[in-house]
Amino acid sequence: MSIASHLFQSIFHPSEITALVKYKFFKPKATVKIRLEQKQKIRCYEFLDKTSRSFAAVIKELDDDVRDAVCIFYLVLRGLDTIEDDMSISIEKKEPLLRSFHEILSQKGWTFTKSGPLEKDRQLLVEFDIVIDEFLSLRKEFRDIIADIAKEMGNGMADYAKNAAHNKYGVQNNEEYDKYCYYVAGLVGVGLTCLFAESGLENPELVKDTELSIHMGLFLQKTNIIRDYLEDLLDGRKFWPKEIWSNYVEDFSDLKESGYETEALNCLSAIILNALHHAPECLNYLNKLHNRSVFSFCAIPQVMAIATLALMFRNYDTFQKVVKIRRGESTKLLLKCTNIHEVANIFREYSRVIIRKNDPKDPNFMKISVACGKIEKWCAVNLPVTDIYPYSTTIKGDLFNQETDILLFIGFGLLALTAYLLYYYNWEHFSFDELKISNIFDA
């Protein structure tokens, strides 16, 4: 989508328009300086852009000391996940590949060309020898952290992949749900904390608090799992635990069927409630960080996750398509993620969005109030009094506060631009073909 359509989506949210303009034209972009002869490293950063749009941006903003290690960590695990996700690879081939992936990392020249043709990241494995070379050029401490996580994750993924019941019936109970999320995302949090500590950017004490690192991953992964209900179901995967959905429907696929709207929305509340329990612990983790670049790197995905949960909450679209926050909204959040006060305020504002949408007829009404109350409490205990507003001022109702100024500013700006264009193009010879809105913004 072009910037013009992102601006259009935010037409009734002037602060988002300001954020989009600020981000596009005024924010200095991260420049990863790589010497031209370091062709393999350049290729790795190209892969990072190709395989992850959301994580690529935050990884590139990290300080030099840790950026390459995190980039390679990402590509290694994306490679592993591409094998895990590929339904065209038989379990006989998949299991040993997943279990030995940490050893493959030191086999120079190893590539994998047998991914299914539709696998979106298959090229990464086709050129995996490049990732291996870059992995081997990292210092030993970083290599050990990455290999240890790949070993545990690969074995965890293999256990699930060969579990026939898991493949047929999906995740059964909440314990299994947490365990699966631990392998695929909690461990990423653990590995990242080790990389930050090893690079000297963060306090090594953080490594000891493994549970906090795990919560960071679980909050992100569970948000993805909730959001991807339909996509995963169509691919034959069921990550929502049966312990939750069986309270509402007989069959997991009923959630999307007409006639089950109330059950679906109540079930959605239950699974969002489960994810919300991680939120205060994520704030605890973020509160312990010192380095500015590490902080933004960790906080941005978390803030996007709580915004996505708030958008999905009691929103039936979740069962019909992939619900996404507007680009303007995500850009606004991204620009705000500079310190714990801003981030905690964002968490609190979205928890208030959830509270506003909460329905007394929902069986989880009380539990949701309590979970949101815990976020409020975190803020009350940890933020200075000056940060506590009685009511949200920046997310809802934004047309009637300080943002009216911004709206006026943009209105006048557009008026001035139109006047200038009319003058420039000479009104008498004016032809609409020459004025392509998208070109103006893309320039």
The entry of Mg ion, ligand D61, none near residue 74 (CB within 5 to 8 angstroms by kind) is ligand D61
Kindly state the smallest distance separating residue 301's Cβ from ligand D61, in Å: 5
Q: How many CB atoms lie within 10 A of CB 67?
A: 19
Q: How far apart are the C-alpha atoms of 382 and 344, rounded to whole Å? A: 9
Q: How far apart are the C-alpha atoms of 80 and 179, rounded to whole Å? A: 18
Amino acid at 121: D
The entry of ligand D61, Mg ion, none near residue 189 (CB within 5 to 8 angstroms by kind) is ligand D61
- Residue with tokens 């990863």, as numbered in its chain: 32
Q: In terms of DSSP H, where are the helices of 100-258? A: 101-104, 122-126, 128-136, 140-161, 164-169, 174-181, 187-198, 205-208, 210-227, 229-234, 242-245
Q: Tokens at residue 127, please?
A: 């050129």
Which residue among the candidates 67, 78, 227, 327 is catalytic per the annotation?
Answer: 227
Check: CB of residue 130 under 8 Å from CB of residue 61.
no
The entry of Mg ion, ligand D61, none near residue 62 (CB within 5 to 8 angstroms by kind) is none
Burial letters 70-88, b for 16+ CB under 10 A, else e: bbbbbbbbbbbbbbbbbee
Q: Known catalytic residue: 260? A: no
The entry of ligand D61, Mg ion, none near residue 188 (CB within 5 to 8 angstroms by kind) is ligand D61
Q: How far apart are the C-alpha atoms of 83 and 187, rounded to whole Å? A: 17
Check: CB of residue 252 under 8 Å from CB of residue 170.
yes
Which residues contact residue 342 at a Cβ distance below 8 angstroms, ignoring those fewer than 6 apart?
Answer: 336
Kindly state the smallest distance separating residue 300's Cβ from ligand D61, in Å: 8
Q: Known catalytic residue: 180? A: yes
Residue 176 contacts ligand D61 per CB under 6 A? no
Residue 318 exposed, middle or buried by CB count within 10 Å (0-12, 13-18, 19+): buried
Q: Which is nearer to ligand D61, 102 or 352 (CB)?
A: 102
Kindly state the smallest distance separating residue 432's Cβ from ligand D61, in Å: 41
Give the footprint of ligand D61 on residues 198-237 (CB under 6 A): 216-217, 220-221, 224
φ, ψ of residue 206 in degrees (nearest 5): -60, -30
Residue 70 contacts ligand D61 per CB under 6 A? yes
Rounded (10°) CA dihedral 73, 76, 81, 84? -140
Residue 78 contacts ligand D61 per CB under 6 A? yes
Look at the alpha carbons of 378, 220, 290, 394 in this order and tell me if their dihedral is positive or negative.
negative
Kindly state the smallest distance separating residue 347's Cβ from Mg ion, in Å: 27
Q: How many amino acids of this chain bind ligand D61 (CB under 6 A)? A: 21
Segment contacting ligand D61 by CB under 6 A, of 67-75, 95-103, 375-383, 396-404: 67-75
DSSP assigned state of 108: T
Segment contacting ligand D61 by CB under 6 A, of 17-25, 71-79, 316-324, 340-348: 71-79
The number of C-alpha atoms within 13 Å of 42 and in the hemisphere containing its C-beta is 7
**Residues 278-297 vs ligand D61: string with x where CB under 6 A?**
-------------------x
The number of C-alpha atoms within 13 Å of 104 and in the hemisphere containing its C-beta is 21
Check: CB of residue 187 under 8 Å from CB of residue 217.
yes
Which residue among the candidates 45, 180, 183, 313 is catalytic per the annotation?
Answer: 180
Kindly state the smallest distance separating residue 157's Cβ from Mg ion, in Å: 7
Candidate list 97, 149, 188, 206; residue touching ligand D61; CB under 6 A: 188
The entry of ligand D61, Mg ion, none near residue 194 (CB within 5 to 8 angstroms by kind) is none
Residue 81 contacts ligand D61 per CB under 6 A? yes
Q: Tokens at residue 134, please?
A: 């870059």
Kindly state the smallest distance separating residue 320's Cβ from ligand D61, in Å: 20
Q: Known catalytic residue: 196? A: no
Helix (H, G, I), strand (E, B) or coil at 115: coil
Q: Known catalytic residue: 441? A: no
Q: Which is nearer to ligand D61, 245 or 297 (CB)?
A: 297
From the CA atom positions of the chain, what is the Rg in Å? 23
Residue 192 contacts ligand D61 per CB under 6 A? yes
Which residue among the candidates 73, 177, 196, 297 is catalytic per the annotation?
Answer: 297
Q: Which is nearer to ligand D61, 85 or 148 (CB)?
A: 85
Residue 55 contacts ligand D61 per CB under 6 A? yes
Binding site for Mg ion (CB under 5 A): 81, 84-85
Kindly state the smallest distance separating residue 217's Cβ from ligand D61, in Å: 3
The entry of ligand D61, Mg ion, none near residue 319 (CB within 5 to 8 angstroms by kind) is none
Kindly state the smallest distance separating residue 318's Cβ from ligand D61, in Å: 17
Residues annotated catalytic, as ranges: 180, 227, 237, 297
Binding site for ligand D61 (CB under 6 A): 55, 70, 73-74, 77-78, 81, 85, 184-185, 188-189, 192, 216-217, 220-221, 224, 297-298, 301
